[in-house]
Amino acid sequence: MASPLQADIVIVGSGVAGALAAARLAEAGLQVLILEAGKPVERGQAVQNFWNAPIKVPECAYPVQPEAIHPTTDRPTDWYQQTGPDLFKSTYLKVVGGTTWHWLGTCLRLLPSDFQTQTLHGYGVDWPISYADLEPFYLQAEHALGVAGDSAHDLSSPRSGPFSLPPIPQSFVDRSMDQALTGTRFQVRATPQARNSIVHDARPPCCGSSSCIPVCPVQAKYDATVHLKKAQAAGARLLDQSTVVQLIPDAEGRITSARFRRWDQSEGEVSATVFILACHAIETPRLLLASRSGAWPNGLANGSDQVGRNLMDHPVQLSWALSRDPVYPYRGPLSTSGIENLRDGPFRRERSAYRIEIGNDGWSWPTGAPLTLAAQVADRGLSAAQMNQALARDTARHLRLTALTEQLPELDNRVSLDTTKKDIYGVPLPHIHYRVDDYARRGMLQAQKDHQEIFTHLQASEIHHATDFFGAGHIMGTCRMGADPRQSVVDAQLRSHDHDNLYILGSSVFPTGGTANPTLTIAALSLRTAEAIVRGWGD
């Protein structure tokens, strides 16, 4: 093995958390080295992969590599070794830029009440910070990512400034929904999203390709390579195809180095003053647990026995129907509006809150339409002209509603190390035990009723409600923040209670999940921690 590399700060992971932190820290003059397990993505090839994929799951644009295996939606038990009553269905990528390559781009803030669920509703735990503490960093994050939104509506999350970009235009589906629901309790609002509505940051506006998941062909949608480039321009170094397999602490518990393996199986090691883990809510606890030793038999940062615990998602209630009148889906971003006024209320003592995402992608998610519809129509024995008429008639009326429900943090919903299987670097695979709690299931049941009511207002027919939950792709918990070292992994600044030069970024630190898509909160927390590191550097 060559002589160890050195840096002021080592960041493990190049997704939105790692990239934002790297850019801020490098711009402050610190020597930053980023380690990423995956390789760079060539956008044109990713688009081609998507077009050619026979099964168009969110990961299909990014073929799984044995040197950087990630889970896939259609094979939830290949990488994840699963036990428990329910399958964990959400995934992530191992590529330069992380999972922002195939995220939708939704950038909602948490609600102020989401930070105090124990105090206000008697469940979960309170965050060690308040909405007011994070609000300035939410605004910074929106400007950093280039969030397009309607500043006239704060969506119950008070704002200290406007969105940086005007909103993405609402779709015909949205406007039809809004008109049908006028005067009801359902309020249709434009969704804030990290997608250019105008030319911004040397990137073009959205061209409506309808492939946000899995890949934006023109980079109108933000991905973390934007800030990786800014970090590198400020002097940060990126080592891709380099998987960290162990963190090494000294006798006092300070992390002294990180050992990594390259795709060619050669080994490397890097020492630093500060280490930041930003490698997602599955890989972060996996690395901490795999770094166990005689001095740290339960793994690193795990004096509380909370590492890997409290795994959460936003279990999805999916519903679809045929509207009476054409709404013309399958155009524009996959979602441009939602119903956000169901995210809070006294009912949260009894059942989950949720937001309802209005889909522009018709029946793609639940049935694989329009391709599957074409096959069904072909089986009817119709003439070519009749087939065209049937396809046009049905696809123009496809509706999709998605309720993303809040899930409680539970100790037994956890990531641990599998006892029998390892990856090619000798690190045990992630073992997941998962259950969707009754609190979330009661929320999904109410969401199904709300979906039925909404479809009724649209005079829809052929109404379907999924009988099982879907994964939202929002992997949260596993290294939660808190003021009490006995009950949490990191403090309010996301510094490990056990290792004073180790920080953890990303959704793994969320004590509770609320109902907002997590990326904007990840970004805000990352900027807040980066500022704290810069402010305290040299103390």
Structural domain boundaries in the chain: 5-536
Q: Order of strands, edge to edge, in the sheet holding 414-422? A: 81-83, 428-433, 414-422
Report whether pLDDT(3) > 70: no
Q: What is the pLDDT of residues 255-281, one digit of tens each?
A: 999 999 999 999 999 999 999 999 999
Structure-block tokens of residue 396: 């123009």
Percent of the chain at pLDDT exceeding 90: 93
pLDDT at 43 over 80: yes
**Is the separation of the CB atoms in 269 and 443 below 8 Å?**
no
What pLDDT, on a 0 to 100 scale, did the predictor assign at position 375?
74
Across 473-493, b (16+ Cβ under 10 Å) vs e yields: bbbbbbbbbbeeeeebbbbbb
Question: How would you label 81-100 residue by residue, b for 16+ Cβ within 10 Å and e otherwise?
Answer: bbeeebbbbbbbbbbbbbbb
Q: pTM to 2 decimals?
A: 0.97
- For residue 198 the two structure tokens come to 């105008």
Of 227, 433, 465, 474, the active-site residue reads 474
Mean pLDDT, residues 16-21 taken together: 98
Q: What value does the mean pLDDT take over residues 488-517?
A: 98
CATH number among 3.40.50.300, 3.20.20.80, 3.50.50.60, 1.25.40.10, domain 5-536: 3.50.50.60
pLDDT of residue 474: 98
List, for residues 204-255, the tens digit of each pLDDT value: 999 999 999 999 999 999 999 999 999 999 999 999 999 999 999 999 999 9
User: What would the pLDDT profile of 72-120 be if each residue is shown by its tens digit?
Assistant: 999 999 999 999 999 999 999 999 999 999 999 999 999 999 999 999 9
pLDDT per residue over 437-448, tens digit each?
Answer: 999 999 999 999
70 flagged as catalytic: no
Residue 1: pLDDT over 60: no
DSSP states of 77-91: TTSSEEESSS-----
How does residue 374 score in pLDDT terms, banded at 50, 70 and 90? Answer: confident
Question: Where do the H-state alpha helices sit in 146-250?
Answer: 172-181, 225-233
Q: Residue 346: is its pLDDT beyond 60? A: yes
Residue 2 has pLDDT above 70, yes or no: no
Sign of CA dihedral 11, 17, 21, 24: positive
Q: What pLDDT, on a 0 to 100 scale, did the predictor assign at position 428?
A: 98
What b/e readout covers 116-127, taking b as 16+ CB neighbours within 10 angstroms? bbeebbebbbbb
What is the average pLDDT across 407-430?
98
319 within 8 A of 449, measured Cβ to Cβ: no
pLDDT at site 422: 98
Q: Where are the beta strands (DSSP E) in 409-493?
A: 414-422, 428-433, 461-465
Pick the closest to residue 277 from 309, 312, 320, 307 (CA basis): 307
Q: What is the mean pLDDT of residues 317-339?
A: 96
User: How far apart are the C-alpha atoms of 455 and 215, rounded to whole Å?
Assistant: 30
3-state secondary structure of 179: helix
Extract the tokens encoding 496. Answer: 């490990």
- State the average pLDDT for the chain: 96
